[in-house]
Amino acid sequence: MTDALQIARALPIWSGPVAPEPLGGGITNVNFTVADGDRRVVVRIGDDIPVHQVMRFNEKAASEAAHAAGISPAVLYHEPGALVLEYIEGKTLAAADVAEDAMLDRVLPLIARAHREIPNHLRGPALTFWVFHVIRDYAATLQEAESPHTAALPGLLADAARLEAAIGPIDLVFGHNDLLPANLIDDGDRLWLIDWDYAGFNSPLFDLGGLAANNGLTEAQEARMLGAYFDRAPDAELWHRYRAMKCAAALRETLWSMVSEIHSEIDFDYRAYTETNLAGFRAALADFLQD
């Protein structure tokens, strides 16, 4: 935290001395708010994280394209290891907020716009986020590090292979790929989608499955979500493919946390987060297998 604070304080964009204030909630980066004269901004401090396939050039490009599409706040400054963003005054959502029908009806059009409009503004190289590649790569990282979870990996990889086969061919959109409720802000007039660390081209089913898994949506809400997104009532095939991707989203979050247990220096209880997500994955997989 001390090094990150010093980096944030020393950025060359300030009009005078500043006192960065820690911004809670981040489990990938160290974030601050900074008051500089009459403006307030967010500073995100973090280098590339190869074990999580987080590349900062990609985060910057996605953030700029998302702003151009009217979805995310403006990028005000960047340098290696630091990204400065416009501060949005509003409420950071919780899972209970997203799970309200009225809020879900606001969130879904925002996600659809992100998928379809961000590519119109994206410049330069862009990453692909294929969840099953990520899962396999995480498993290899855990094996190399002799993680305490190594014994569970063969079974989890077998589950992943079954899920990948069930999904089959996909449509390709530009996904956010990290739809935690804290990445949504309500300013009272509109919603904003923030934090593009994991952005990349992907199946829309991943964001939809992640949205459901991370926010405890009911099956009825999932049906509404799929119907609204695809503009048709979900048939048995779509349900089957969606449930497979929902499982994959939960498994990826589980393995992400397992890797973070041994590689992250952020003060966060990743072990408990692993247990929570592993339970969510197993519940989702049980639903899928009953399908």
What whole-number distance in Å separates Cα of residue 276 and Cα of residue 193?
A: 24
Pairing of strands 82-86, 91-92: unpaired
Using DSSP, state whether 32 is helix, strand or coil.
strand
Averaged pLDDT for residues 275-280: 93
3-state secondary structure the chain: CHHHHHHHHCCCCCCCCCCCEECCCCCCCEEEEEEECCEEEEEEECCCEHHHCECHHHHHHHHHHHHHCCCCCCEEEEECCEEEEECCCCEECCHHHHCCHHHHHHHHHHHHHHHHHHHHCCCCCCCECCHHHHHHHHHHHHHHCCCCCHHHHHHHHHHHHHHHHHHCCCCCEEECCCCCHHHEEECCCCEEECCCCCCEEECHHHHHHHHHHHHCCCHHHHHHHHHHHHCCCCCHHHHHHHHHHHHHHHHHHHHHHHHHHHHCCCCCCHHHHHHHHHHHHHHHHHHHHHC
Express as a percent the part of the chain with pLDDT over 90. Answer: 91
What whole-number distance in Å separates Cα of residue 183 and Cα of residue 192?
A: 8
Per-residue pLDDT for 90 more than 80?
yes
Q: What is the pLDDT of residues 14-54, one digit of tens each?
A: 999 999 999 876 666 789 999 999 999 999 999 999 999 99
The structural domains of the chain, ordered by start, are 2-86 (3.30.200.20), 91-290 (3.90.1200.10)
Pairing of strands 39-45, 82-86: antiparallel
Per-residue pLDDT for 1 more than 70?
no
Q: What is the pLDDT of residues 43-65, one digit of tens each?
A: 999 999 999 999 999 999 999 99
Q: What is the pLDDT of residue 27?
A: 64
